[in-house]
Structure 1
Amino acid sequence: MARAEWNGRVIADTTDTVVVEGNHYFPADAVDPALLHPSSTTSVCGWKGTANYYSLVVDGQENRDAVWFYADPKSQAAQIKGRLAFWKGVKVTA
């Protein structure tokens, strides 16, 4: 079981994560969509492609760009398509 928590709230909970470069990528349907707010931020990874971000909002507090995902990853990262990962203080336990 893998779990992501921030600000006292469970953000995601699943038995199905894919670990890439030490990061757990959670299936999108394991993440509470009510806590995700779209961001215009993007970044580029040479082998995974362009990452997009969400900010988390829990009890009125925002953690900007704390969630990232690859909507259309390069072929060598196909296993993370449709999955989300966390950072910026989000505690992930597995």
Structure 2
Amino acid sequence: MAREVKTPGPDHPIAIDRNPNRLVVHVDGVVIADTTSALTMNEAAYPPVHYIPLTDVDTARLRRTESHTYCPYKGEASYYTIVTPARDITDAVWTYDEPYTAVDAIAGHVAFYQEQVQLTVD
């Protein structure tokens, strides 16, 4: 089954910019990510999303799940569970392994559901 692919434009703008701040992601006092190389995506009327390079994430704290979703502007998203000594948070992290050309800057990055983690910005 073919999936619809859409290109960002005036009706659905997407901008990706380097975030100049240090971002730290914590869960239950455990640092999951710490970066000065985040990208921030502003997409249409959605809240901004911070994409963190996977190289700045403690991947020992992530476990890939079988979950997938699809966005016609970005492609297919895959998900991770965050694993801490206290608990697991299922599908709290997503990534686009092969994002569409218009957003290919987010390849190799992950994003966190901000309601599932504590995000500090310095």
* TM norm structure 1: 0.94
Superposition pairs of residues 12-51 of structure 1, within 5 angstroms: 12-21=33-42, 22-51=48-77
**Unmatched segments (≥5 aa) in structure 1:** none
Give the count of matched residue pairs.
Answer: 94
Q: Aligned equivalents of 1:78 and 1:57: distance in 2?
A: 28
Instruction: Kindly indicate whether residue 80 of structure 2 is the aligned counterpart of residue 54 of structure 1.
Output: yes
Conservation of the 8 A alpha-carbon contact between 2:28 and 2:86: no
Identity across the alignment (%): 35
- Asked if 1:70 corresponds to 2:91, the answer is no
Structure-1 separation of matches of 2:71 and 2:28: 28
State the Cα RMSD in Å.
Answer: 1.0
Q: Which residue of 2 aligns with 1:82?
A: 108
What stretches of structure 2 of length at least 5 have no aligned partner?
1-21, 43-47
Q: Deviation of residue 46 (structure 1)? A: 1.5
Runs (4+) of structure 1 moved beyond 2 Å?
Answer: none
Relative CO higher for 1 or 2, CA cutoff 8 Å, sep ≥ 6?
1
Structure having the higher Rg: 2
Query: Aligned-pair distance for 1:60?
Result: 4.3
1:31-67 Cα deviation digits (max 9, x unpaired): 0011001100000112000000000010041000001
Which one has the bigger strand percentage? 1
Q: Which residue of 1 aligns with 2:29?
A: 8
Q: If the length of structure 2 is used for normalisation, what is the TM-score? A: 0.74
